[in-house]
Amino acid sequence: MKTFKIVRPDESIRPALIDKINNLTKPKGSLGTLEELALQIGWIQQTLSPTLRHPQNIIFAADHGIVEEKVSLSPKEITWQQISNFLHGGAGVNFLCRQHGFTLKIVDAGVDYDLPYDKGIINMKVRKSTRNYLYEAAMTEEEMELCLERGAEVVRRCHEEGSNVLSFGEMGIGNTSSSSMWMTCFTGIPLEQCVGAGSGLDNAGIRHKYEVLKQSLDHYKGDGSPRDIIRYFGGLEMVMAVGAMLQAAELGIIILVDGFIMTNCILAAAKLYPEVMNYAIFGHCGDETGHKLLLDNMEVKPLLNLGLRLGEGTGAICAYPIVESAILMINEMDNFAHASITKYF
């Protein structure tokens, strides 16, 4: 069984960080969320002068057996076709990576297609698509373990390349269905409130999706443990993202959380190792039904609300300049004593 050693950062540095932030030349608290981010990142990195190095966005891609039940508007082949688009630089995530200086890594976790690995795709394929969880578990214990380990391996590579901040994205037709299943199982929120349009279902399509997922939930005969729920209803790319997030936390890397699917992944990760949440920054509240409910249930505050629902890591990357501003604030603003300004708070 893959295990991680994730610890809560040492609290002893917190008073000094707060003092530094409070003595910058501004009224105390007047930079709001930037102050909160600077405190969190300084606490994670255990320094009064935190840094952001070599940001990377990792997209995990895989197919889902549940798409056989017509729970998605988009056909399965969109998964590999969109990966080709990533490679050619024409997707939404590509322009954002270029704009904000992110390296893009594309990982095949379980795409039902023979991809051109010589083009730069990282081959971590566990199997071609999950099984259909309407009838059986999406993956075996061994396949889940492989996903966790391979996701962790990708993050270790990023760490060796000098990254201390990572965002995670996904590509996989059907993964909002799997996310809805994790959400209802882990939060107790009724399934109907967790199911949305995905890539564009109409009301009748959403109803059909709900009915299929409800049947899947009714057929579940597992032990109800977090590991079993992750294995039974998860996507290969989602479980790989869970392993990646847990490895990032173990290495002290800042985790930028994207939309509905990646929020469910950090939730699943937290069910295994609650301390992972200390390393997470939530990029945005997406437009997928259930995302706001999920964020509220987790008692976390996203940085943006732009009506996004693309995935791929796009919302997390959009939020990155705000995180950068927090680091510039704590490192570049003068303090009252040095600037010879009377404190005005």
Active site residues: 312
Burial degree of 199 (CB within 10 A; 0-12, 13-18, 19+): middle
Q: Which pair of structure tokens corresponds to residue 251?
A: 């290495």
Pairing of strands 254-257, 56-62: unpaired
Q: How many CA atoms lie within 13 A of 116 on its CB side?
A: 9
Closest CA to 147 of 210, 236, 267: 236
Q: Which pair of structure tokens corresponds to residue 53?
A: 């190095």
Q: Which pair of structure tokens corresponds to residue 300?
A: 């976390």
At residue 123, φ and ψ (nearest 5 deg) are -85, 105
Q: Strand runs (DSSP E) across 136-177, as ranges? A: 165-171
